[in-house]
Amino acid sequence: MHYAYRYRLHPTEAQRETLNFHRDTCRQLYNHALTEFEQIPQSAGTLTQRVRQVRDQLPDLKDWWDDLTELYSTVAQAAVMRIEDAIEALSELKTKGYDVGSLNWKSPREYRSFTYVQKGFEFDKKNGQTVLSLKTLADIPLSYHREIPDDLTVKEVSIKQERTGEWDASFAVDDKEEPAKPENPARCVGIDVGILKYAHDTDGCAVGSLDLQHEQERLKREQRSLSRKQHGSNNWEKQRLKVAKRHQKVRRKRHDFLHKLSNYYATEYDMVAVEDLDVKPMLESTGNSQNTASAAWDTFTTLLEYKCKREGTHFVEVDPAGTTKQCASCGVGSDKPLWVREHSCPACGFEMDRDANAAINILFRGFEKLGLGQSEETTPVETALPLFTSSDGADVVDGKRVVETGSPTLKEAATAAE
């Protein structure tokens, strides 16, 4: 199972220059390799074979390209092999319906990382601090906030410069075993995501959306100030860093919220069911596209799927069509506008919160998709309906509490709801 450990690097000013030199050399090598790759006909072999033909030219390039001798061998090879990864990523987007073009040369701002593959790096202790020793480069201090288990093998290390100028190191491991999923999951949950309440589950826990209004206003002010600066000037560059730091703060706060929320559901339940939302048309609409983009539902489901795989939890995405309209008690569908937040079935008279009703339908469909039997222990109607009959009965957790204190607050909320 692929897993990554990320650490913040603290290079000196001289080391920053060296890192930037290596990064830019890799960028130039990538651009040169892309030109050579485009001259090879497709009939010459598969994608991997054609990229390797370009990679095999590296020894000859070093004869006239002096800067390449400064790069470690695996770093230069990884820079060329990025062409294969980029083409595969474009092909995947094309199969999903996106209009993609071809690969282009990378500018200095677009190429921000380089990779050591299998060797050329190691942890070391110098002057009482942990450093990352990189061959042909430097010994860079880092914040070693969590240890990598000895039984895991590091496959590669990616050194990346953020837009704010900070440097990070990501250690990728592939030997982490995936735990087995339970055959008869005892604790199961369905999750309905939204704008006003980010997540409403079948256990009566509702998590409010993260309030980023203050950060967004600060970002807008910094962006307006950037637009008044002359592009490329020193003042423009200083303001660009301020805008990048504002973007970074918003991104980190959102990811912190999503990581903690997804980790809670992955660790507390044996089976998690969510909607398989198609976000693309929502983002193209003029109604609520900004709030939809800020919600980052795709990121949440991606993190949730990954963490469920890591914890041995069943994860299933279901068709979201009709989950809000369908009655969780009798199955009869009834139209209701978006402003109506209560579900009231005209057929059986069943009433409950609109999002709670959708969450139960999502859990039902998750059972059907996984082929799990609905016993007394896993029947959502029997276990979830007594918890709430209206929106006042749901235990709402503020999104800020999730960011500040993490999963324990959600555990308390779920316990209180029970």
99-135 tens-digit pLDDT: 888 889 999 889 999 999 988 898 888 777 889 999 8
User: pLDDT value at position 181?
Assistant: 83
Task: Report the first-to-last Cα separation within the chain, whole angstroms.
Answer: 34
Beta-strand pair 271-275/188-193? parallel
Nearest residue to 33 via CA among 79, 74, 64:
79
Percent residues over pLDDT 90 in the chain? 37
Degrees, nearest 5: CA angle 417-276-322: 75
143-187 tens-digit pLDDT? 988 888 888 888 899 999 998 889 999 999 876 677 888 888 888
Contact 159, 113 (CB under 8 A): yes
Residues β-bridged to residue 397: 207
Alpha-carbon 82 to chain mean position: 20
Contact 298, 343 (CB under 8 A): no
The alpha-carbon radius of gyration of the chain (Å, integer) is 25
Going by pLDDT thresholds of 50, 70 and 90, the confidence category of residue 336 is: confident
User: pLDDT value at position 129?
Assistant: 84
Q: Which residue has the higher pLDDT, 223 or 352?
A: 223
Structural domain spans, the chain: 3-173, 188-417
User: pLDDT value at position 265?
Assistant: 92
Q: Which residue has the higher pLDDT, 327 or 222?
A: 222
Going by pLDDT thresholds of 50, 70 and 90, the confidence category of residue 199 is: confident
Q: How far apart are CA 89 and CA 77, in angstroms?
A: 19
260-303 tens-digit pLDDT? 999 999 999 989 998 888 777 777 776 677 777 777 888 888 89
Starting from the edge strand earliest in sequence, which strands make up the sheet with 395-397, in order? 314-318, 271-275, 188-193, 197-201, 205-208, 395-397
3-class SS letters over 357-368 = HHHHHHHHHHHH
Cα–Cα separations (whole angstroms), residue 408 to 261, 394, 402: 10, 18, 9
- Tokens, residue 406: 């993490």
3-class SS letters over the chain = CCEEEEEEECCCHHHHHHHHHHHHHHHHHHHHHHHHHHCCCHHHCCHHHHHHHHHCCHHHHHHHCHHHHHCCHHHHHHHHHHHHHHHHHHHHHHHCCCCCCCCCCCCCCCCCEEEEECCCEEEEEECCEEEEEECCCEEEEECCCCCCCCCCCEEEEEEEECCCCCEEEEEEECCCCCCCCCCCCCCEEEEEECCCEEEEECCCEEEECCCCHHHHHHHHHHHHHHHCCCCCCHHHHHHHHHHHHHHHHHHHHHHHHHHHHHHHHHHHCCEEEEECCCHHHHHHCCCCHHHHHHHCHHHHHHHHHHHHHHHCCEEEEECCCCCCCECCCCCCECCCCCCCCEEECCCCCCEEEHHHHHHHHHHHHHHHHHCCCCCCCCCHHHHHHHHCCCHHHCEEECHHHHHHHCHHHHHHHHHHHC
- Tokens, residue 416: 């209180």
